[in-house]
Amino acid sequence: MPDITINGRDGDFSAYLSTPAAGSGPGLLVIQEIFGVNQSMRQMCDDFAAQGYVALCPDIFWRQEPGIQITDKTDEEWQKAFQLFQGFDVDKGIEDLKDSLAALRGMDACSGKAGTVGYCLGGKLAFLMATRSDADCNIGYYGVGLDDLLSEIGGISKPLMLHIAEKDDYCPPETQAKLRDSLGTHPQTTLHFYPGMPHAFARAGGIHYDADAATLANGRTYDFLKQHLG
């Protein structure tokens, strides 16, 4: 599948596009982890395309260094990833994602509704797309820093699903308790907790990948998308 160019409000940036065999379907904005639009994210897009979605993964690190594609396999790559994460402007990133969502909806291949799904940093951004955008539904996998964003929950008007790893070093028990208290009864929000699972348990080929938990989470994601995007 090709990389395409998104014409954003502050400049052009690339995105990986994967389309279903049928040639069209609902849109799904796939939001990267801290490793860029790498092979893992591209495979996720292809997997979503196989489920019938037009999947688009934009390069949200383009303002710092375009075209990042690294892994979680070496200390050097982790250092690079955290450097990019620390230098990332969340508000600008949301603007880029809104522009990407608009571009996705404008594609001939996109047949109607469009949602988001994000992982790690992308999980945080998927939460913010739920509070700040008109995406039709949003899904976050092990989002980071969500407890700092709970003041925004009043903006959630479309369905949001969060997958939370109970042994996530970046989402400690006190944060998980805040999420349960603030979002557990929200009419638009569904929370799933995964006992014993570490951060990034659904990253196929990653150092913390757990096939059973990933299969469970992904099945819930597919059902959620089918319900809310068609």
pLDDT in tens, 92-138: 999 999 999 999 999 999 998 999 999 999 999 999 999 999 999 99
Pairwise CA distance, residues 180 & 83, whole Å: 31
What is the C-alpha separation between 19 and 212, in angstroms, rounded? 27
Mean pLDDT (the chain, rounded): 97
Using the Cα atoms of residue 37, residue 230, residue 179 and residue 97 in order, give the sign of their dihedral.
positive
Would you please indicate which residues are annotated as catalytic (active-site) residues?
168, 199
142 pLDDT higher than 90: yes
Q: Work out the average pLDDT over 49-60.
A: 98
The predicted pLDDT at position 230 comes to 85
At what angle are helices 121-132 and 90-105 packed, to 10 degrees?
70
User: Residue 82: which pLDDT band, with cuts at 50, 70 and 90?
Assistant: very high
Contact criterion met (CB below 8 Å) for 167 and 198: yes
Question: What domains are there in the chain, each with its CATH number?
Answer: 3-229 (3.40.50.1820)
**pLDDT higher than 80, residue 217:** yes
Per-residue pLDDT reduced to its tens digit, 6-44? 999 999 999 999 999 999 999 999 999 999 999 999 999
In this prediction, what percent of the chain has a pLDDT beyond 70? 100
* Alpha helices in the chain, H assignment, sequence order: 39-50, 75-86, 90-105, 121-132, 173-183, 211-229
